[in-house]
Amino acid sequence: MSSFVHIFVFSYCFGLINLGFSEKYRALMLDFLKGFICVVLASAYVNTGLSFLVSTIGVVIGHKWPVTSRFAERDGEAVLLGILLATSTIIAVACGLFFLILKKTIKKHNISIVITGFMLVLVLLVLRKPDSLVFTGIFMLLISMVQFLSHPEEISKRLAGRWFLRKSVLLKIVLAVVIVVTAVLMFFNRYVYKGFGMQVDLIRNGPRELKYVTLTFDDGPDPIYTPQILDVLAEKDVKATFFLVGNHASKYPSIVERIHTEGHSIGNHTNSHRSLVPLSKAATYGEIMLAEEAIEAITGEKPTLFRPPRGVYSKYARELLKDKRYTIVLWDVSSQDWEETRHTDIVKNIMNRTQPGSIMLFHDSGNVISSSGGNRSNTVKALPVIIDGLIERGYSFITIDEMIILKGLFEAEEGLFEDY
């Protein structure tokens, strides 16, 4: 996650800038440019939604709560507007007009900002914008509420004494949210998408003695990135394995047909990408079987490979999958592309960790929380570099089905030698 550390540090330092303009117009213009330029530079460095979020947090915190004692806490609506304009021009213009109309109507500056913040979050949710942009909107709303509480003259006497309108309470909530989100992201980064410990009856890798590796893609199909990935694989004449979400397969059957027709393996990745823990037995059964039915209806073949979302599964799921003759497939190398880092970081993650028999985890869809969306442009950009680099090292690419056969043959051969 070094890219995002760089973005945060730069954004925070950028937020500290204060030229001491006495004219309010110049001061607001500087604040606006800080937010706008900071997000534009962050997107030039890593053009993903998460880079927008990290940049937003950095520049706003630097602007409002600088570590230096020279500056008092400053209002941040101009910074937020600059950020919003760099993120989405249409939404920024709409929010600006809504704010001006609201301010003229109720004649309360900071209350108008808070209401506009609520509307922004609502619009992002209704328009199904990426999770990272929704989080950015929520952060903006929290900041606007903190700013509102910094101006007690706008708070009615009836509400002034309420505990939930105390600035210290809201700041604690903001801090708690940041800590929880950071902890969750660290958990996913360290344990989930890097994988748990070895389970002897699951396949996480193939034979270490042979230079065969497997590319796997989770959470698709996606109408934008899956076809691009298939184009790269076709150009490089490489077969891979796609673990499909049932709902997505039903929505984009032509892409599923293409995956199948071009000779790639297809696996079951549940029907809606719900974590199998702590689902009930009935819900677990539905997630697995509905996805199976969706895939089989399109390809004419029952999938025999299964990958649990985030690598987490229950005892019941494991028993059910065994009964339904599935092979549970995990991984031993993660590209960590879910973080939406630069394509060079994705290449580095794979090239530094791949070894004979590796099963590599990528994503052709999937957002920070939801199962669809997300920016996989850097995955597409990294893929040909990774394929060429591993071929230069003497590796060959096979599907999971072929890896399972190879692993079985190799273990059987070892068993024969042990008998002598």
Q: Which residues are catalytic?
A: 218, 363
Alpha-carbon gap, residue 104 to 173, rounded angstroms: 31
Alpha-carbon gap, residue 198 to 205, rounded angstroms: 10
**What sign does the CA torsion over 277, 279, 284, 288 have?**
negative
Among 300, 297, 387, 386, which Cα is nearest to 347's?
386
Residue 414 CB partners (closer than 8 Å, separation 6+): none
Alpha-carbon gap, residue 361 to 43, rounded angstroms: 25
Classified as helix, coil or strand, 216 is strand
Preceding amide of 356 cis, omega within 30? no
3-state percent breakdown (helix, strand, coil) of the chain, nearest 5? 60, 10, 30
Q: How far is CA 192 from CA 2, 169, 310, 330, in A?
A: 19, 33, 6, 11
